[in-house]
Copies of this chain bind each other. A is one copy, B any other.
């Protein structure tokens, strides 16, 4: 172990040991309770101070109700929680899964149950979580609505039966917009402490799912550490591990190798797979006149394979078998956009849309197997071409949820692509995109560190929330309104505590004198 490696490991150990579980000020952990005792949905309650103005003499200053916020940090955000990363998280869904298995019915996916009219505990959990106790508002989310959206294919609830540690969440355009964070081991060797630290960090700043894009020799072990300690669904790109097995030579990939990887990852508990089955042989030529060719790593691998063998993409050829594996474990499919544009110049071209139409065909096949599906989208798209992406996706993919990277709305600001893409992400979220894959300030430049991950997540929580407001999600405006009231009443502590990043808000304020900072509103 090099001294650098020892240092990273020690930092991670220290981070985990010092997890007080109460990172956010004036916050408590609370739970919503479902129809059975083991349905307990954690969330964070932000306590506010009284208003500063007395309505009239002798009348007490009015209280301000606490503000409840969606929280994906599980025990890592729970004061006093007992955390043992060698042991892993409590398997909260284990009993639900076991009960269903004992019923001897075929079909273990949430889609299968939804189609049969069965509301699973996961669905009930999701409904509670989306409402956060605001059922008094217009159009609250019901468990039956969750079931129906899943049954229609408009939403997915990624929940591998072998990842019982995960807290149910839903991805669909009639729910809160979700955010994914990518993580991956950055060195040949990492430690369980480092991997769990990344998890904790990403969920602290609001990641709804995490994609593990690790490479290298210890890919299986790394993923095991992540899965056993992750309260959020974990996605992977299995072709990356398959490529490791053939020493990085794309031409040597085979269906047999790929299938082994799929089975291994499904068995381990991965909740969704990115599969680049839409990169058809004939579409590759459509990219030849592009400014930036094929920029998706998975897309490049499959294109190389197709060209070398002059054969059709084996993921497309074996798509039925892929679905059969996913169906057995309830792994959701995230149909990858291997031909996504890598520049403004290439946005919305025929290569991209030809692949999208194929993803629509594949969606129907997956649904035959009761496999949940979402569709991945670009990438780099100027603002005036964003809506077409959403429209085409809805049209050709039968309303399966859309999951996009950004999109970046300009290419001129490397170092600030969390902002160039946050603009596009907010817009496509408002148009109906269900989940936004974050982009960090290091995009196109290097590997993100912890601060970059935080900056990326905050930009994307802003984008997702702005989209929730625009879509009129019930209760979404509660946090804005609480902040605005605190601002109008100059309750500074409440403003900090209600912020996405309370510590930064307070630090910025304290840099200048309070009386000076009152100038702008």
Contacts of A430 in B (CB 8 A): 383-384
A483–B519 contact, CB under 8 A?
no
Which of A154-162, A306-314, A342-350 is near enough to bind chain B?
Answer: A342-350
A447–B488 contact, CB under 8 A?
no
Asked if A480 is at the interface of the complex by the 8 Å CB criterion, the answer is yes
B345–A508 contact, CB under 8 A?
no
A485 closest partner in B (C-beta): B291
Q: State the CA gap A487–B512 with chains docked (Å).
A: 41
Asked if A517 is at the interface of the complex by the 8 Å CB criterion, the answer is yes
Minimum C-beta distance from A273 to chain B (A): 19
Asked if A500 is at the interface of the complex by the 8 Å CB criterion, the answer is yes
Asked if A141 is at the interface of the complex by the 8 Å CB criterion, the answer is no
B499–A412 contact, CB under 8 A?
yes
Contacts of A500 in B (CB 8 A): 412-413, 415-416
Which of A28-36, A260-268, A389-397, A458-466 is near enough to bind chain B?
Answer: A458-466
Q: State the CA gap A383–B373 with chains docked (Å).
A: 28
B409–A466 contact, CB under 8 A?
yes
Asked if A86 is at the interface of the complex by the 8 Å CB criterion, the answer is no
Q: Could you say which of B423, B462, B496 contacts A463, with CB atoms under 8 Å apart? A: B423
Minimum C-beta distance from A134 to chain B (A): 16
Contacts of A501 in B (CB 8 A): 413, 415-416
Asked if A495 is at the interface of the complex by the 8 Å CB criterion, the answer is yes
Number of interface residues of A (CB under 8 A): 77
Contacts of A422 in B (CB 8 A): 419, 422-423
Q: State the CA gap A446–B419 with chains docked (Å).
A: 22
B291–A488 contact, CB under 8 A?
yes
Which of A76-84, A87-95, A437-445 is near enough to bind chain B?
Answer: A437-445
Asked if A22 is at the interface of the complex by the 8 Å CB criterion, the answer is no
Contacts of A241 in B (CB 8 A): none
**Given contact pairs A422-B423, A466-B423, A485-B291, A499 touches B345 in the complex (Cβ within 8 A):** no
B345–A444 contact, CB under 8 A?
no
Q: Mark A293-304, 1 if CB is under 8 A from B, else 0.
A: 101010000000
Q: Which residues A485-521 have CB closer than 8 A to chain B? A: 485, 487-488, 495-496, 498-501, 504-505, 508-512, 516-517, 519-521
Copies of this chain per assembly: 2
Contacts of A442 in B (CB 8 A): 508, 511-512, 517
Minimum C-beta distance from A32 to chain B (A): 21
A480–B343 contact, CB under 8 A?
yes
Q: Could you say which of B441, B461, B472, B483 contacts A508, with CB atoms under 8 Å apart? A: B441
Contacts of A505 in B (CB 8 A): 414-415, 445
B520–A410 contact, CB under 8 A?
no
**Given contact pairs A426-B423, A480-B343, A485-B291, A462 touches B416 in the complex (Cβ within 8 A):** yes
Q: State the CA gap A246–B213 with chains docked (Å).
A: 64
A495–B384 contact, CB under 8 A?
no
Q: State the CA gap A500–B441 with chains docked (Å).
A: 13
Contacts of A512 in B (CB 8 A): 442, 446-447
A460 closest partner in B (C-beta): B419
Q: Which residues A441-488 have CB closer than 8 A to chain B? A: 441-447, 449, 458-459, 461-463, 465-467, 469-472, 477, 479-481, 483-485, 487-488
Write 5 A-B pairs (CB below 8 A) sorted by A numbering.
A342-B487, A415-B499, A419-B419, A422-B422, A445-B517
The 5 closest A-B pairs by CB, nearest first: A343-B484, A446-B512, A383-B470, A295-B521, A446-B517
